[in-house]
Amino acid sequence: MPFVQVIEYESDQRDKVRELSEEWAREHPDGGPSRFVMAEDRERPGHFVMVAEFDSYEQAMAHSGRPETGAYAERMRKLAKGTPRYVNLEVAHEQG
């Protein structure tokens, strides 16, 4: 069953957040989410949402347990103001 993780955080370092995300995509093209989106809220500049889609919960947990994933998360946390908020979702329905 597909699994989605949503991470919300605030940051005033938009360019560094984008650069870190692009660096991760270049250096780790395999073994991660099947789809990943990082977006900034148009109504609240500095409010970011990351959406990572995985084929399964197990794949997400394997990815989460990788040392390089932990290092990336720590670097991203340093760019955030406050603590990121995680939402873990089992996909109930897909369309399209």
CATH of the domain at 20: 3.30.70.100
If DSSP codes are grouped into helix, strand and coil, which group holds residue 21?
helix
Q: Are 2 and 91 in contact (CB under 8 A)?
A: yes
Would you say residue 83 lies in a domain?
yes
Q: What is the pLDDT of residue 96?
A: 82
The number of domains in the chain is 1
Which residue range is the domain that position 54 belongs to? Answer: 3-90
Q: What is the pLDDT of residue 53?
A: 96
| Per-block mean pLDDT, blocks of 10 residues, the chain (96 long) | 95 92 84 90 96 94 91 92 95 90
Q: Which is nearest to 92 in space by CA: 15, 30, 2, 5?
A: 2
Q: What is the pLDDT of residue 27?
A: 86
Q: What is the pLDDT of residue 21?
A: 87
